Amino acid sequence: MNTQPEARQSPSMQPPPIGMLAELTHRCPLQCPYCSNPVELSRKREELDTGTWQRVFAEAAELGVLQVHLSGGEPALRQDLEALVASCAEHGLYSNLITAGVNISRARLEALADAGLDHVQLSVQGATAEVNDHIANLPGAFDKKLAFAAEVTDVGLPLTLNSVIHRVNLHQIPDLVELALALGARRLEIAHAQYYGWALQNRGALMPPREQVMEALDLVEAARERLKGKLVIDAVVPDYYARLPKPCMNGWGRQSLNVTPAGKVLPCHAAETIPGLEFWNVGEHALGDIWQHSPAFNAYRGTDWMPDACQGCERREIDWGGCRCQALMLTGDATQMDPVCELSPYHEEIQTLAIIDSSRDDEFTYRRFARQPA
């Protein structure tokens, strides 16, 4: 099985990345069945310490990164979160906290704002307590999220709501729009589940039928038009029902990078699913060196690695070959064209797979977090 082209040095200096996802921890109070984190999570003892993250933020700013998304897991489980936010502010990095909003007190939120936090992105699993708490597998989570959202806007921080959409909450898209308006959010992200990590194990319970997806897309477009200038609505459609692939991460190693809790630097969130790639660690290499020269980043950069059918396609520098991780999962070969593409020989197979999964009635398999030693 071919999993990667021959690793090579980039032919020229790469333009700097715009954004960096800083996965501060994999620890999380929620057990969402669509979680895109790896099946094997980093332990607390493996997490980068405060000083290392502060150095990484300094190197990110020097490299040209503009914004840092502080994520997890749940980043608020880091006791040094205020210091990390302050480090982003010190180096001129726009900081976005991606949180479940169930374990941040008003006092701590104010401390984060005082440290220089720029933005809060709150995940909601549904528009009602019944749906939200069932998906998160945490009773009382919805009420805590509502209270937290009110505190975010009261403190004066801009708020984005994010909801991963699937069969169980797809019918609530109109309610999620109204919830975003009621909470004073400036942006709502409607992102259909992507089947990586733990989500792949729950695909049969998450995959919605095609007709419901199409109806939902119409609802989103209508809401966008109606609320133009009042609420920005971003939507990510489910790949399995698409005709053309998305430019995953706007192209492999082109605009963003991802630092794991243990310090590996990845071109995309799920890149570790591809065997044979060599990921450099911030404990051994400077961030700029990793961006320019690491084998994993250069494996699928540009278009030279593409199969012949993609090389001659007019979209080769629009979708950049689509998703390498998805190509591997659905064809067994990471160098294949993304099977979402209607020209792929595997395209009909994934359409059939989606139909089969959407007809199943599986129960969620929740991620069980074992107690982690300090």
Q: What is the pLDDT of residues 200-234, one digit of tens each?
A: 899 999 999 999 998 998 999 999 999 999 999 99
pLDDT at site 10:
42
pLDDT at site 332:
92
Alpha helices (H) in the chain, listed in sequence order: 50-63, 81-90, 106-115, 129-136, 141-155, 173-182, 197-201, 203-206, 210-226, 287-293, 295-299, 308-311, 324-331, 347-358
Distance CA 69, CA 93 (A): 10
323 is in an annotated binding site: no
Assign 70 a pLDDT band (cuts: 50, 70, 90). very high
pLDDT at site 12:
61
Q: Which residue has the tokens 């009110």?
A: 150
Distance CA 51, CA 61 (A): 16
32 is in an annotated binding site: yes
Structure token digits, residue 190: 């409607």
* Average pLDDT rounded to a whole number, residues 176-183: 98
Q: Which residue has the tokens 């609530």?
A: 172
Domains of the chain by start residue, with CATH: 16-373 (3.20.20.70)
226-264 pLDDT, tens digit each: 999 999 999 887 788 888 998 888 999 999 999 999 999
Structure token digits, residue 228: 């133009």
pLDDT at site 193:
92
Does residue 369 register a pLDDT over 70?
no
Structure token digits, residue 253: 């190693």
Q: Which residue has the tokens 């419901």?
A: 212
**CA-to-CA dists, residue 13 to 266, 291, 292, 293, angstroms:** 18, 10, 7, 9
Does residue 40 register a pLDDT over 90?
no
The lowest-confidence range among 74-88, 91-105, 170-184, 315-329 is 315-329
Does residue 102 register a pLDDT over 60?
yes
Among residues 205, 200, 138, the alpha carbon closest in space to that of 170 is found at: 205
* Average pLDDT rounded to a whole number, residues 337-362: 90
Assign 126 a pLDDT band (cuts: 50, 70, 90). very high
Percentage above 70 pLDDT, the chain? 95
Distance CA 221, CA 218 (A): 5
| Interior angle at CA 191, CA 190 and CA 196, nearest 5 | 165
Assign 372 a pLDDT band (cuts: 50, 70, 90). very low
28 is in an annotated binding site: yes
pLDDT at site 354:
87
Name the more confident of 77 and 9. Answer: 77
Does residue 7 register a pLDDT over 70?
no
Pairing of strands 256-259, 19-23: parallel
Find out whether 369 and 28 touch, Cβ atoms under 8 Å: yes
Q: What is the residue type of 96?
A: N
pLDDT at site 20:
98
pLDDT at site 370:
53
- Those residues whose C-beta lies under 8 Å from the C-beta of residue 311, and which sit 6 or more positions away, are 303
Find out whether 353 and 240 touch, Cβ atoms under 8 Å: yes
Does residue 325 register a pLDDT over 70?
yes
pLDDT at site 36:
86
Distance CA 136, CA 81 (A): 23
Name the more confident of 4 and 312. Answer: 312
pLDDT at site 235:
87
